Every structure is written in structure tokens, then in C-alpha cells.
């Protein structure tokens, strides 16, 4: 009987070179080729319970690009069969792993290895990567629909990096999106589509700069968002947060009250107004004490 069948493994390559056992099912679509993936993995030699390589000790695994960052052929084949949230065990024969030479001194020659892999997330960035390899002149020939798809893929990459608290890289991704959306439109309908996409990115940048403790830039991007939609509650809220950070209390109050008017039951907005009231009270108390010290100093000098 076929040992692969006995062990409950699926032969992915037809020659027994890459075999897979699903440990936990995932959801959604399979990983597309050339995607960027977030995986946790551990590699084992036969009869060893200690991994020879692993990234499970990292709090935030790096985002890896298929076809570029993953050098193990078998692992790339295996990842293309996985769905988000799936965990699987793979067995790679030497020709799909480290080959006849192995990897001295850790991997002996002609070694079969086992990898346990958990696919946490992936982003289909293939079209986006292709777009940014083109010259600006070539990019300008793309139809708006494709440009908006590229912009959204890049924004999602920025969101992924933001969730991992990699705020500098997230900021750079968002700025990349703005450069794509800077093209001129041929109609009002096109401009509305561009503005809708741009609004999301401006809000992302405003929030990211707050996290980077750059409130002036957060305010600038929030105000740019308001130029597109002056009634946008998120943009008003971000501007209010930025002004509060800079102790511009009157401006903060104006922005936050306008945001509250748009969304009166928004918990975050209402909490920020409470925070503003507390900060302003403390500010006035400190100002009063300072004035008292100044007058006391003047009286003593007389």
C-alpha cells in the first residue's frame, strides 16, 4: 500500500516530493501566485523534535513575497495550496528542499525535512508589484479601474503593516498610494472614484502620523481629507486628536464637536471630548498658578 496514503498525506507534486497533512482547515481562497504571505513555520529533521529553523519566537512575522523571499521550492508549492488560518505539516524530499548538498552544518546532504506551517494572512500583491515596475509613462496608460485596484492592494499592504505596528513602513505604503492617485481625471465621475480612494488613504495617513507622534502632519492629512469630504466624521476626529496633542484646545474642541454632531453616539469621539475637557481644566489651573507665582515675584521685588 502507498505509504503516503497510509500516513494520511496528500501528494502535491505526483512524485512524493511534497506531501501535505492538514492540521487545521483555513477559510477563503487559496493563496494566489506572487502573493505576500504572513506565515509561522518550524522546520524539523527526521526523528527530531527540536526545529532547526523557526520564526515562531518572533512576535510579528515578516511579510514574505512568494517567488522572491521564500527560497525553499517545496514550501512555495505548499503555500499555494493553503487558505488563511490553515495549519499544515509538509514533508519535502531533498530535491524540493536542500538538495544533494544539504546546508552545512545543519542539514546533511540528501535530507528529507518536515515543516509545520501556519498561514496567518496573505495579500494578493502581484498586480501591484507589476504596476510599480513600469515607468511613469507606462503607468499613465493603465485604465482607471486597474489603477484603483493597484491603489487598494497597496493600501491593504499598508493596513497590514499598521496592524503589525510597523508604522514607518505603513506610512511609506500609504504615500505610495497617493502617488498613484495623483493622476488627472478625464471626467467628474472618474474624479469621484479617485477622491473616494484618496480619502481612505488620507485618513490612514492621518492616523499613522498620530501613532508616529507627528501631530502637525496628522492634522495636515486630516484637513486634506476634509477638502474631499468636509462632513467626514473620521477626518474631523483625527484633526481633533491632532490639535489636542498639540494643546490647541479651541481648534480641538471645534473639530471634535463637529465630529460629534455627525456621530453623536460614537464612543471614541465622546471620550476624546472628555479628555479635552480634563486637559483644558489642568491647563487653566497651571496657567492660574503661573500667574500667581508671577504676581508674588513682583510683590517681593517691590
**Hey, what's the cell of 292?**
500667581
Rounded CA separation 109/94 (Å): 8
Give residue for cell 515596475. Answer: 133
Summarize pLDDT for 207-229 with one digit per residue, the tens.
Answer: 999 999 999 999 999 999 999 99
With left for phi above 0 and alpha for psi between -120 and 50, is residue 71 left, alpha or beta? alpha
Q: How confident is the model at residue 65 (pLDDT cuts 50, 70, 90)?
A: confident
Average of pLDDT values for 247-271? 95
> Given a cut of 80, is residue 98 above it in pLDDT?
yes
* 56-60, 138-142, 160-164: least confidently modelled range: 56-60
Instruction: Give the residue among 14, 3, 22 at the shortest CA–CA distance from 90.
Output: 22
pTM of the complete model beyond 0.85: no
For the chain, give the longest Cα–Cα distance. Answer: 106
Q: Which residue has the higher pLDDT, 143 or 44?
A: 44
Supply the pLDDT for residue 107: 92
Supply the pLDDT for residue 299: 55
> Given a cut of 80, is residue 296 above it in pLDDT?
no
Supply the pLDDT for residue 2: 39
Supply the pLDDT for residue 290: 59
Q: Interior CA angle at 23 toward 125 and 16, to 5°?
A: 80
> Given a cut of 70, is residue 289 above it in pLDDT?
no
> Given a cut of 70, is residue 298 above it in pLDDT?
no
116 - beta bridge partners? 42, 89
* 183-187, 254-258, 298-302: least confidently modelled range: 298-302
Supply the pLDDT for residue 13: 95
Average pLDDT over all residues of the chain: 88
Average of pLDDT values for 275-280? 86
Summarize pLDDT for 68-93 with one digit per residue, the tens.
Answer: 888 899 999 999 999 999 999 999 99
> Given a cut of 70, is residue 164 above it in pLDDT?
yes
Average of pLDDT values for 250-257? 94
Q: Which residue has the higher pLDDT, 255 or 122?
A: 255
* 5-14, 27-36, 102-111, 130-139: least confidently modelled range: 5-14
Supply the pLDDT for residue 6: 38
Amino acid at each position: 500500500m502507498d505509504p503516503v496514503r497510509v500516513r494520511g498525506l496528500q501528494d502535491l507534486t505526483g512524485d512524493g516530493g511534497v506531501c501535505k497533512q492538514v492540521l487545521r482547515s483555513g477559510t477563503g481562497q487559496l493563496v494566489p501566485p506572487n502573493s505576500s504571505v504572513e506565515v509561522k513555520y518550524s522546520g524539523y529533521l527526521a526523528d527530531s523534535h527540536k526545529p532547526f529553523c523557526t520564526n515562531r519566537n518572533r512576535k510579528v512575522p515578516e511579510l514574505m513575497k512568494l517567488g522572491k523571499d521564500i527560497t525553499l521550492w517545496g514550501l512555495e508549492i505548499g503555500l499555494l495550496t493553503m487558505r488563511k488560518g490553515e495549519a499544515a505539516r509538509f514533508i519535502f524530499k531533498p530535491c524540493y528542499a536542500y538538495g544533494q548538498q544539504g546546508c552545512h552544518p545543519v542539514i546533511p546532504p540528501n535530507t528529507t525535512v518536515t515543516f509545520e506551517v501556519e498561514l496567518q494572512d496573505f495579500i494578493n500583491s502581484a498586480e501591484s508589484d507589476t504596476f510599480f515596475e513600469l515607468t511613469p509613462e507606462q503607468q499613465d496608460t493603465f485604465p482607471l479601474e486597474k489603477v484603483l485596484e493597484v491603489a487598494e492592494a497597496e493600501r491593504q499592504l499598508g493596513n497590514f503593516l499598521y496592524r503589525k505596528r510597523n508604522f514607518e513602513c505603513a506610512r511609506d505604503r500609504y504615500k505610495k498610494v497617493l502617488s498613484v492617485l495623483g493622476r488627472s481625471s478625464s471626467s467628474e465621475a472618474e474624479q469621484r472614484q479617485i477622491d473616494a480612494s484618496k480619502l481612505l488613504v488620507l485618513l490612514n495617513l492621518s492616523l499613522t502620523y498620530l501613532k508616529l507622534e507627528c501631530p502637525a502632519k496628522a492634522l495636515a492629512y486630516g484637513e486634506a481629507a476634509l477638502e474631499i469630504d468636509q462632513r467626514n466624521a473620521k477626518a474631523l476626529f483625527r484633526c481633533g486628536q491632532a490639535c489636542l496633542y498639540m494643546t490647541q484646545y479651541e481648534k480641538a474642541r471645534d473639530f471634535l464637536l463637529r465630529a460629534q454632531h455627525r456621530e453623536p453616539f460614537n464612543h471614541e469621539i465622546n471620550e476624546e471630548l472628555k479628555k479635552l475637557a480634563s486637559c483644558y481644566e489642568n491647563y487653566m489651573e497651571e496657567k492660574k498658578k503661573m500667574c500667581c507665582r508671577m504676581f508674588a515675584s513682583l510683590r517681593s521685588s517691590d
